[in-house]
Structure 1
Amino acid sequence: MTQRTTIPASGKGETGTKTKRAHIISHTHWDREWYLPYEKHHMRLVKLVDSLLDQLDKRPDYHSFYLDGQTIIIEDYLQVRPEQKQRLEKYIRSGRIVIGPWYILQDAFLTSGEANVRNMQVGHRDAKRYGTPAKIGYFPDTFGLVGQTPQLMLQSGIDNVFFGRGVKPTGFNNTVSDDGYESSYSELIWEGPDGSKVLGVLFANWYSNGNEVPADKAAAQAFWEKKLADAEKYASTSELLFMNGCDHQPIQRDLPQAIRTAEQLFPEVEFVHSNFPEYLHALRASCTQELSTIRGELRSQRTDGWGTLVNTASARVYLKQMNQHGQVLLEKVAEPLAAIAHLLGHAYPHDQLTYAWKTLMQNHPHDSICGCSVDEVHREMVTRFEKSRHTAEAMIEESTGQITSVVDTSIFDSYGEEVRPLVVFNTTGWERSGIVHLELDAARLYFREGFSLEEMAERMTRVDLSGRVLVDDSGEQVSCTVEDLGLQFGYDLPDNRFRQPYSCRRVRVTFEAQRVPALGWKAYAWVPLAALTDVTLSDEAAASPPEVSAVKNNGVNQGYNHADPIQSYREPENSLVLTGERGMENKYLRVQIADNGSFTVTDKQTGRMYSDLGMYENVGDIGNEYMFKQPQHDTARTTKELKAAIRLLQSNDYVVSFEIIHHWSIPISADEQLDREQRELVYYPHRQARRSQELVTMRIRTVVSLSYSGRGVEVESSFDNKARDHRVRMLFPTDLQTDVHYADSMFEIARRDNAPAPEWQNPSNTQHQQSFVDVCEDKAGLVIANRGLNEYEVLQDGRNTIAVTLLRAVGELGDWGLFPTPEAQCLGAHTFHMQVIPHDGHGSRSGAYKEAYQFQVPWTLVQTEAHPGYLPPVSTLLAWKGEDVAFSSLKVNEDSGDLMLRWFNMGTGQTAIKLAATQSNPKKFTAAYQSNILEEEGEQHQPCSYEKNPSPLSFASEGWSIPVSACEIVTAGLRQA
C-alpha cells in the first residue's frame, strides 16, 4: 500500500508536501438482476468473487474491496461455491473485504419502513457471522431517499450517508449534469425531520468516477487531469473520493500498478487504495468548510424533473400490489400473531420469519421492485412473492391455532352441538371495526369414518343450513350474509399423525366485526336459531324477527331470514341506509352517485362536500419503465362525459355497495413511430410518437361501498387491459385551498409542495406514496388511501385533484440501451383498492390516518371449536395509547427473547406513549427499555400509573410512559420475568 503523507487540515501543503489525497475505493455495484435475468448475473458474480479472492491471495498491495453494502452477495456466492466460505471469511475478518450493513440495497420509497428495518437487522446479523458490519450508510443508486434516513442511520450506529441521486440531475445512461444543486459541495449535512444529522457524501461524479484507472502513462495523464479537476469542482476538502468500479464491474487487477503510475505523474497528490472508514476519517479531520445543510426528502426536487425515475412507482403495478400484501402479512399479521402466541408459551418462529423476510427482500432492490428490468426478472419476482406469502400464511395459521386453542369459547356451549365458533383477530395497533369474511365448515365427514365417497357427498349435500344465525360473545345477534359454497374437500395436517382428509359443507360468512381490540381478538359463533331462541330470546321476539341475513346458493336467495336484536339498540340516525336510487348514508358520510359514475361524498361531521370523485383519466405513454412521457398534443381522456351503467349490488344492515360499469374507447397503442424512436435510442423526453387512431374498448367495473361503521368510502376498480403505451388514473378533486399536501412515507407523514420548484420542466409532477395522500386545509381534508398504488399527483387544475395511478403500460426498459419488455404493457385483468376518507383538517388526530393504515391490513379469522380457555373471548394482551402516534410493529428479539414494539410520531410536536400489559396477559414484564432499530438495549423506562379501562379489557395498574419527540421513531423492549 502506498505510504501515507500527512496533509495539513487546510488542504494546502508546504513545499515538498502533498497538497491533496486521492482515495481510490474498489467496489462493484451489484444489481442482482436488471438487464439480464438473475442467474446470468449470478454466474458473473461467482466469477467476480473468485477473481477477487485470487487477487487478494496474490497481491498484498491490493488493499481492500467493498462488497456493495449488501450481505446477500455472500449468500449468492456461497450458494455456488460453499467450499470457499473459510477463504472468504478470512479476508472479511482481516478487513480486506468490507461487507454490510444491508442485506440488500433496497429501493427507499417502494419498500415499507419495517422492511427497511428488517433489511438493516438481517444485514448486521449476517455480517457478524463473518466479521464486523461496515457502518456505512450506502445508497449508491437508490432512486431518491426518504426524509427519515438520517434517523434510521443514527439508530443503526451509522453517522454518514453515501448516495448518488436526489439532489443533482442525472440523465441518459446515468450521465451527471454540471448544473447546480442544493449543496455547495459534494459533502453536506443531511438533517431529517426529527433533527437527526448525518454527514452526507454525494457521488457528484457518480459512483464510477475512478473506474478502470489506466496503468499506461499517457492514458493515465489524461485520465487523472480530468478526474482530479472533476472531483475538486465539488469537494470541500483536499480529500478526493474516486470510486473504482461500476455496475457489475469486474475487479481491476492492475490497480496497484495504476496507482504507482499516477504517483509518478502527479507527485503533489497522494494516491491511496482506500476504503470508506479511512476516507471518512480523513475527510472529518480535514474539513474546515461550513457545509450546506439539506433537510428532509431527497427527491431531485430542484432539477428539471426528467431524470427523477419517480415513475418506477407505477411500472408493473402488479408487483407493487404483491409487495404491499407481502410486507403487511409479515410485519402486521405474522409477526404480531407469533408474538402473542409467544406470550402464551409457544416458540417464536425466528428462522421461518427470517426466511420469509429474506425471500421478500430479494424483490426489494431498485431494479426489481421498481419494475425496471427485463421480463424474466419480474416473472421470477412473482414466484418469490408467492413463496414469502405462503411462508407467512403457514406461520399465521400456526399462531392463530395456538391462540384460539386457549380462547374461552365455552360460552357458546349452550347453543348445542351444531355451534360453529370463530375468532376474529385485529393485528393493527388500534381498535378496529370492519367487514370480514370467513369460509366456515358447517359440517364435516372425515374419510377415516369409513363412508364411501358417494355416501359422504350425499350426507353433506343433505345438511340443512337454514335456521342459523351469528352471535357475538354476549349472545347478541349480528347481522350477516351467508353464502352456501356447497360440497368441498378439505384436510387436516396434524403434528402427530398422517394427514386427515374430509368432505364438508362449506359456507362463506360475511359480517361487520365491531370494536375488536387492538392487537387482540373477538369470538363469534354461527348457531342454530332455535338454540338462540331457547337461550336468549323471549317467545314474542322469536315469533316475529326482522329480516337481516340470508343463505345464498349460486347467488339465489334461499329465503333464510332471521332476527337481529342489534336493530333494537341502534339509534335511527346511526343506521346505514339507502338514499334514493343511487345514494347511501351512515352516521359519518353521505354518498351520491352521478350518471357518469363519479360520486359525491359529504362529510357529515364538517359539512364539506367532495364532488366528481372517482372519474377515470387516460393518456398515452411513450416513455419507459423508468419515466412517463405523454405524447405531444395528446389530450387526456376522462369518463366525465361518459354515461355509466349503475346498479345496487348489495344492501343490508352492515354494508351498501353500488356497481358502476363504463365501456370506454381508448387508443389501442402508440403509433409506429414509437418503435422507430426506441430502436434509434431517442431519449424519451425528445420523442415525437403519437397515439394510434385505432381504438379498443375498456370495460371498467367500479364498486363503491359504505359500511355501517365506515369512516371512509371503499372503492374497488377492475378492468381487463387490452391497450398498450398508456396510463390510467383515478381522479379525486378536493376543491381545498392549500399549497401543500401530505403523503405517507417511511415512518413519516411527509409535507410536500403542490407546485414544483422553478427549475422543474417536466409537465408531470408525480410523486411517491406508501399508504395514502392527504390534501387538507384548516377545517377539512381528504385522504385517499390505497393498497399497493405508489404513485400519485396533486394536479395544478384549480381543484387540487389527487390523481392516483392505477396502471402504466410501456414496452421497454429504458436507460442505456434498447431492452424490449412486452410484459411491462401489463395486458390482462387488474384490480385496485382505494378508500376515500374525509376529515376535519387534522389527519392524525381525526383518526383518518389510522383508518388509512388499517385499510392496508387484512383481517384474520379462524374457525374453532367450543372449548374452555384461560383467555377471555374478547381481549388483548397489551394496551397502549399516544396522541399523533402510529403503531408500526410487534415482534420478539431473537437474542434476548424480549418483546419489541415500535411506533413513530406522525406529528411535529412532543407526545408520549403509555404502554401496559392487560390482566389477560399471562406473562409478567420486569422492565421496559428504549431501544433502536437494531433492538439494542438503551435507556430504562420507569413504571407509571395507567388508567383502568372499562370491561371487558382491564389493564394492569402499572405500565410505562415513553416520551416521544417530534417525528421520532421509537422502539421499546419489554423484558419478561
Structure 2
Amino acid sequence: MTKKKRAHIISHTHWDREWYLPYEKHHMRLIQLVDSLLDQLDEGSDYKSFYLDGQTIIIEDYLQVRPEQKERLEKHIRNGRIVIGPWYILQDAFLTSGEANVRNMQVGHKDAKRYGTPSKIGYFPDTFGLVGQTPQLMQQSGIDNVFFGRGVKPTGFNNTVSDAGYESSFSELMWEGPDGSKVLGVLFANWYSNGNEVPVDEESARKFWETKLADAEKYASTNELLYMNGCDHQPIQRDLPEAIRMAEHLYPDIEFVHSNFPEYLEALRASSEHELSTVKGELRSQRTDGWGTLVNTASARVYLKQMNQLGQTMLEKVAEPLASYAYLLGHAYPHDQLTYAWKTLMQNHPHDSICGCSVDEVHREMVTRFDKSRHVAEALIEESTSQIATAVDTSIFERYGENARPVVVFNTTGWERSGVVQMELDAARLYFRDGHTLEEMATQMKAVDLSDRILVDEDGNHIPCTVEDLGLQFGYDLPDDRFRQPYSCRRVRIRFETENVAAFGLKTYALVNFADDAKSGTPSKTTTLLRGERGMENQHLIVTIADNGSFTITDKRTGRTYKDLGVYENVGDIGNEYMFKQPENEVARTTQALQAEIRVLEDTSYLASFEVIHQWEIPESADEMLDQEQRELIYYPYRKAQRSTKMIPLQIRTVVSLSRSGKGVQIETTFNNQAKDHRVRALFPTDLVSAVHHVDSMFEIATRDNKPAPEWQNPSNTQHQQSFVDVSEKEAGLVVANLGLNEYEVLQDGRNTIAVTLLRAVGELGDWGLFPTPEAQCLGEHTFQIEIIPHDGNGAASGAYIEAYQFQVPWTLAQTEVHTGYLTPNNTPFAWQGDGLAFSSLKVNEDSGDVMLRWFNMTTDSATLKFATSQANPQPFETAYKSNILEEEGEILHLNSIEEASTLSFATKEWNIQTGSCEIVTVGMRR
C-alpha cells in the first residue's frame, strides 16, 4: 500500500541583517515582523511555530528596540513555538575562519539557552557553498543534519535548478566529511521559499499546489515533502492556518502539516526507503556551468577581507592565547570582553556582508565594526602582555644600568618561531607629575644620547638590531588606581630578528647602552644577505630579481628553481560584486615586458629587501555600453561591453624581502587604484606537474582539481582560499600564502601558475535589480602581503604549511621594566608534538574555567598528539579530557608515566591522544 503523502510547511523568514538596504532599514522591518509574529502566536494555537532563521542575533536586534517584549518573546521560545539557534549569525562558510565558526556556534548556543533550548538544525539556507569539514563540525555540536540551498545541484539565475548533472539523486542525501563524519543533508532544491505565500482562495490554491506538489515530488526521496513558508525578509503569513485548511480541502489524500524541522526530520527518517547518494567533501557547485557559483564574492571589496583576516587573527591567535597565559598566572580571563569583540566581528560575517555584495552603506558600517572589534582585541592584548611581562624576571639586565629597557617578545602561534620583529620603545621618559616645565622636558628628552644603544638577550649576546630615532613623543599611562599619567619621552623604533621562540612562549631582550655592557667584545660584525646587484640569499633560498621586476627563487634544499614570480596581470571586469566577467576577446595586460625600477631598500645582517616600481598604464574603466547593459538588467554572462580606450597610470610598488631565517620570500604590493571595472592579480608560475592542488580551508587542507568539471563553461575558474594554496609534485612544491586575499586560480597555462587576486573593482551589486555600488570600485591606496614558500613536495611534513599559518599571525612585543619575577626570560606554559597536526586555538572555558586547546589533522593519516604543561604554571593541571567544539567534557585522557614521556622534557605532566584522519581535536585541561 502506498504511504500517504505529507506536506510539511515550515514558517520562517530568511533575515539578511543588511544587504540591498543598510542595516537600520532592515532592522526597522524586523521590528515589525517580530511584533506581528508575537501577535499571531498570542491569538491561539492554529499558527503552530516559526523558525527564526537559525541565528540568535535576531533576538538581540529586536530587544534592542523592544526590551519590554522580552518576557513575551521568551514565553513562546520556551513553549517551542519560536525556534532559535544554533548559530549567533548565519555566516559565510569560505570567508570566515574555523575558529570564527566555532565561536559562532558557541555564542549561538549560549544565547539560545538564556531563552530556551537551541535548535539542533545545521542551517545554511543561502550560504554560498559549504566547506568540507561541515559534517564534523555539526556532529561535534550534537547536530546530525544540514539544510542548505547551494553547493550540490546546478543553480543558475534567480536560483533556478537545472535538470542535468546532479551530484545527488534526490534533494535528500548523505554528506560525508574528510574525517568520515556523516550527516543527513537536505537541499532546498526548490529554494527556501517553495512554500511562500500559500493562497487561501480555492482557484489560486489549486494552481499553487498543482505546481508545488509536482516540484517537490520531482526531487524528494520519500513522501515527506518539505515546503518553506517564507523568503528573504518575508513578513509572516498570518492566514496560513486558513491556507492549510484550503489545501486539505483540495487534496484530501495528502496530509498538510504546519510543521517544524525536528518533526520533518523524524518523519523523513521513518519513511526513508531509497538509498541516498553520498556526497563527499566540499560543496562548491563544481558540477555546474560555473556562472552562478557566486565565487567571486571572495574578491569583492578585498579591503573587507583584509580587515577580517586581521580581526580574526587578533582575537583567536593573539588575544585569546595571551589572556590564557595571563590566566595561568592568576589573572582573570576577560570572557565578556572577548565575547563582545567576537560578536562585533561576527556581525560582519553574514554572507551578504563579508562577501562584499551589498550596497555601499552596509560596507561602510562594517569598517567601523572591524575597527571596534580590533580595538577591543588590542586593549586586551596590551593588558595581558603587561600582566605576563610583569611576571618575567628581567633582573638579569640590572648589570646594564638604569638605561636598560627590557623587551618581551611573544610567540602566540602553536609552533616554535623565528622572524624579524619591530616595536616602538621609550628609551627615556619624564612624567608631567614630576613638576618639570614643558620646555625642560623637551630639552632633557632631546638631549638623550641614543648613539651607542645595542640589543642583548638574557645571556648577554649582542643581537643585530636597527634603532631608528623617532624623536620627542608624547605618551600616557592609564593606571588602575590613579588618574592618567602623561609623559614626554624619547622614542625609538627597534627592528631585529628573534630566533627559536617557543610555541605559546616568550623571549626577553633588552636595549642597553653599549658602554654599560660588562661583557667583553664588540657587537658582531655586520653581514649581508645581498648577493650581487639584484640578489638575496640565506641558508634556504636564493632570490634574483629580473629587469621586469619579477623574481626567481631557487630552493637550496631541493635544487628546484621557480621563475617569473610576481608578474602582475590586469583585465577588465564587467561583472558585479557576485561574479567576475572579463570582456569578450580581451587580451590580458601584464608587466612581463615592462621595465621596472629596482633598488636596494634594506641591507642588514638579518634582512634584505628590494623595492620594485612598475610605471604602468591601464584602461580607465569599461566603455559606455556597460552602463547601458546594467540599466537594462542584462545578465552579466551575456554582456558585450569592452574597456575604455582612455588609459590612466597605475604605479605598483613592490617590496621583495628575505630574512636570515626565512623559509619563504615575502612581498608587499602597494598601489593607488584610480581605474574602474577591472581586476589585478599577481602571478606565480610553479612549472610543477600535477593535476590537483591543495588549499587551506576551514580546519582542512582541501585537495581540488586544477581542471574544472566537464559541465564548467565559465572561462574563469577562480576559487576560495584561506591562508594559502599549494601546487606540488613528488619532490617539490610551491606554497603561496596571503593575508586576507581569499581568491585564487590555478591557471590552465601549461605552467600551473597560481594567480592571486589582489583587487577587483566593479560598480553594481548584481542581484534581482540594479543597485549601483560606486564604492565597490575600491578607488584609493591598497596594500597586499604575500609569502612564497618552496618545499620538498609535502607541505605538511616539510613545515611549509606551518610557515604559511605563522605568516598570518603578527608578533607581539611589550616593553617592561627591570624587575624580579617568577617566570624565566625564555618561557612557555605548554608544549606539544604531533606529525601533521596544526594548532588552532588556546582559550578558557567560561563555565568551567578549564583551559581549552584545539588542533586539527592536516593529513589523512592518523597521528599521536602529545601535549604537556611546564613548571611555569603556578597551579599545575590535574586532569585532561577530550572535548568537542562546544567544549563539553568527554573521555578522560591517560596521564603518561615517566617511561612513556616524550622529548617534551620540560614537562611536569604529559598526556597523549590518538587523532584520526582530518580530525578536529579539542582538549580540556583542569586544575
TM-score interval, normalised by the smaller of the two chains: over 0.9
Report how far residue 451 of structure 1 moved: 1.1
Q: Say whether 1:610 aligns with 2:562.
A: yes
In the alignment, the residues of structure 2 paired with residue 489 and residue 577 of structure 1 have an alpha-carbon distance, to the nearest angstrom, of: 37
Q: Say whether 1:716 aligns with 2:716.
A: no
Counterpart of 1:236 in structure 2 is 221
Q: Say whether 1:593 aligns with 2:553.
A: no
- Does the aligned pair in 1 maintain the 2:528–2:603 contact within 8 Å? no
Report how far residue 432 of structure 1 moved: 0.3
Q: Say whether 1:92 aligns with 2:77.
A: yes
Counterpart of 1:837 in structure 2 is 789
- Does the aligned pair in 2 maintain the 1:352–1:391 contact within 8 Å? yes
Counterpart of 1:760 in structure 2 is 712
Q: Say whether 1:871 aligns with 2:823.
A: yes
Counterpart of 1:657 in structure 2 is 609
Instruction: Give deviations 1:943-962, integer Å, cap 9, x for gaps.
Output: 11478899xx9522530001
Paired positions, count: 926
In the alignment, the residues of structure 1 paired with residue 888 and residue 452 of structure 2 have an alpha-carbon distance, to the nearest angstrom, of: 56
- Does the aligned pair in 1 maintain the 2:427–2:489 contact within 8 Å? yes
- Does the aligned pair in 2 maintain the 1:787–1:833 contact within 8 Å? yes
Matching residue within 246, 261, 266 for 2:231: 246
In the alignment, the residues of structure 2 paired with residue 170 and residue 450 of structure 1 have an alpha-carbon distance, to the nearest angstrom, of: 73
- Does the aligned pair in 2 maintain the 1:448–1:500 contact within 8 Å? yes
Matching residue within 233, 238, 241 for 1:256: 241
In the alignment, the residues of structure 2 paired with residue 477 and residue 836 of structure 1 have an alpha-carbon distance, to the nearest angstrom, of: 30
Instruction: Give deviations 1:488-526, integer Å, cap 9, x for gaps.
Output: 000000000000000100000000111111001000000
Helix, strand or coil at the partner of 2:892: strand
- Does the aligned pair in 2 maintain the 1:576–1:587 contact within 8 Å? no
In the alignment, the residues of structure 2 paired with residue 801 and residue 72 of structure 1 have an alpha-carbon distance, to the nearest angstrom, of: 42
In the alignment, the residues of structure 1 paired with residue 860 and residue 277 of structure 2 have an alpha-carbon distance, to the nearest angstrom, of: 23
Instruction: Give deviations 1:97-123, integer Å, cap 9, x for gaps.
Output: 000000000000000000000000000
Q: Which letter does structure 2 place at the counterpart of 1:33? A: E
Matching residue within 453, 457, 479 for 2:464: 479
Counterpart of 2:642 in structure 1 is 690
Counterpart of 1:551 in structure 2 is none
Q: Which letter does structure 1 place at the counterpart of 2:75? A: K
Instruction: Give deviations 1:689-746, integer Å, cap 9, x for gaps.
Output: 0000000010000000000000000000000001000000000000000000000000
Counterpart of 1:962 in structure 2 is 913
Instruction: Give deviations 1:283-328, integer Å, cap 9, x for gaps.
Output: 0000010000000000001000000000000000000000000000
In the alignment, the residues of structure 1 paired with residue 664 and residue 303 of structure 2 have an alpha-carbon distance, to the nearest angstrom, of: 24
In the alignment, the residues of structure 1 paired with residue 799 and residue 124 of structure 2 have an alpha-carbon distance, to the nearest angstrom, of: 35
- Does the aligned pair in 2 maintain the 1:740–1:753 contact within 8 Å? yes
In the alignment, the residues of structure 2 paired with residue 180 and residue 885 of structure 1 have an alpha-carbon distance, to the nearest angstrom, of: 36
Matching residue within 40, 44, 48 for 1:63: 48
Matching residue within 849, 857, 871 for 2:801: 849
Q: Say whether 1:470 aligns with 2:470.
A: no
In the alignment, the residues of structure 2 paired with residue 180 and residue 232 of structure 1 have an alpha-carbon distance, to the nearest angstrom, of: 18
Counterpart of 1:371 in structure 2 is 356
Counterpart of 2:731 in structure 1 is 779
**183 and 948 in structure 1: CA distance in 2 versus 1, 3 angstrom threshold:** closer
Matching residue within 761, 764, 767 for 1:809: 761
In the alignment, the residues of structure 2 paired with residue 445 and residue 632 of structure 1 have an alpha-carbon distance, to the nearest angstrom, of: 66
Matching residue within 519, 524, 543 for 1:564: 524
Instruction: Give deviations 1:321-353, integer Å, cap 9, x for gaps.
Output: 000000000000000000000000001000000
Counterpart of 1:128 in structure 2 is 113
Instruction: Give deviations 1:819-861, integer Å, cap 9, x for gaps.
Output: 0000000000000000000000000110000000000000000
In the alignment, the residues of structure 2 paired with residue 766 and residue 473 of structure 1 have an alpha-carbon distance, to the nearest angstrom, of: 49
Counterpart of 1:797 in structure 2 is 749
In the alignment, the residues of structure 2 paired with residue 964 and residue 678 of structure 1 have an alpha-carbon distance, to the nearest angstrom, of: 52
Report how far residue 454 of structure 1 moved: 1.5
Matching residue within 899, 924, 927 for 1:973: 924
Counterpart of 2:873 in structure 1 is 921
Instruction: Give deviations 1:900-954, integer Å, cap 9, x for gaps.
Output: 000000000010110110122212111110000000000111011478899xx95
Q: Which letter does structure 2 place at the counterpart of 1:491? A: Y
Matching residue within 544, 560, 575 for 1:623: 575
Matching residue within 506, 510, 514 for 2:491: 506
In the alignment, the residues of structure 2 paired with residue 853 and residue 763 of structure 1 have an alpha-carbon distance, to the nearest angstrom, of: 31
- Does the aligned pair in 1 maintain the 2:572–2:582 contact within 8 Å? yes
Q: Which letter does structure 1 place at the counterpart of 2:625? A: Q
Report how far residue 811 of structure 1 moved: 0.1
Report how far residue 176 of structure 1 moved: 3.1
Counterpart of 1:555 in structure 2 is none
In the alignment, the residues of structure 1 paired with residue 905 and residue 323 of structure 2 have an alpha-carbon distance, to the nearest angstrom, of: 23
Helix, strand or coil at the partner of 1:943: coil
Counterpart of 1:267 in structure 2 is 252
- Does the aligned pair in 1 maintain the 2:901–2:910 contact within 8 Å? no
Q: Which letter does structure 1 place at the counterpart of 2:607? A: V
Written as runs of structure 1 = structure 2, the 5 A alignment for 1:813-832 is 813-832=765-784
Written as runs of structure 1 = structure 2, the 5 A alignment for 1:72-221 is 72-221=57-206
In the alignment, the residues of structure 2 paired with residue 315 and residue 178 of structure 1 have an alpha-carbon distance, to the nearest angstrom, of: 30
Counterpart of 2:366 in structure 1 is 381
TM-score (norm. length: structure 1): 0.94
Report how far residue 177 of structure 1 moved: 3.0
Matching residue within 401, 404, 409 for 2:386: 401
Counterpart of 2:331 in structure 1 is 346
Q: Which letter does structure 1 place at the counterpart of 2:401? A: G
Q: Which letter does structure 2 place at the counterpart of 1:968? A: E
Counterpart of 1:884 in structure 2 is 836
In the alignment, the residues of structure 2 paired with residue 820 and residue 412 of structure 1 have an alpha-carbon distance, to the nearest angstrom, of: 61
Counterpart of 1:39 in structure 2 is 24
Helix, strand or coil at the partner of 1:970: strand
Counterpart of 2:519 in structure 1 is 536
- Does the aligned pair in 2 maintain the 1:163–1:203 contact within 8 Å? yes
Report how far residue 794 of structure 1 moved: 0.1
Q: Which letter does structure 2 place at the counterpart of 1:657? A: S
Report how far residue 179 of structure 1 moved: 3.4
In the alignment, the residues of structure 2 paired with residue 216 and residue 180 of structure 1 have an alpha-carbon distance, to the nearest angstrom, of: 38
Counterpart of 1:898 in structure 2 is 850
Counterpart of 1:549 in structure 2 is none
Report how far residue 436 of structure 1 moved: 0.4
Written as runs of structure 1 = structure 2, the 5 A alignment for 1:275-424 is 275-424=260-409
Off by >2 Å, runs of 4+ in structure 1: 169-180, 945-950
Helix, strand or coil at the partner of 1:618: strand
**Can you give the 5+ residue segments of structure 1 that lack an aligned partner in the other structure?**
1-7, 14-18, 543-562, 568-574
In the alignment, the residues of structure 2 paired with residue 334 and residue 959 of structure 1 have an alpha-carbon distance, to the nearest angstrom, of: 26
Counterpart of 1:497 in structure 2 is 482
Counterpart of 1:911 in structure 2 is 863
- Does the aligned pair in 2 maintain the 1:408–1:868 contact within 8 Å? yes
Counterpart of 2:687 in structure 1 is 735
- Does the aligned pair in 1 maintain the 2:155–2:288 contact within 8 Å? no
Q: Say whether 1:225 aligns with 2:177.
A: no
In the alignment, the residues of structure 2 paired with residue 482 and residue 675 of structure 1 have an alpha-carbon distance, to the nearest angstrom, of: 54
- Does the aligned pair in 2 maintain the 1:911–1:965 contact within 8 Å? yes
In the alignment, the residues of structure 2 paired with residue 263 and residue 503 of structure 1 have an alpha-carbon distance, to the nearest angstrom, of: 81
- Does the aligned pair in 2 maintain the 1:929–1:973 contact within 8 Å? yes
Instruction: Give deviations 1:33-63, integer Å, cap 9, x for gaps.
Output: 0000000000000000000000001131001
In the alignment, the residues of structure 2 paired with residue 969 and residue 759 of structure 1 have an alpha-carbon distance, to the nearest angstrom, of: 33
Report how far residue 220 of structure 1 moved: 0.3
Q: Which letter does structure 1 place at the counterpart of 2:509? A: Y
Instruction: Give deviations 1:156-178, integer Å, cap 9, x for gaps.
Output: 00000000000122223333333
Counterpart of 1:553 in structure 2 is none
Counterpart of 1:750 in structure 2 is 702
Helix, strand or coil at the partner of 1:701: strand
In the alignment, the residues of structure 1 paired with residue 524 and residue 15 of structure 2 have an alpha-carbon distance, to the nearest angstrom, of: 61
What RMSD in Å do the two structures reach over aligned CA positions? 1.1
Helix, strand or coil at the partner of 2:878: strand
- Does the aligned pair in 1 maintain the 2:870–2:909 contact within 8 Å? no
**Can you give the 5+ residue segments of structure 2 that lack an aligned partner in the other structure?**
none
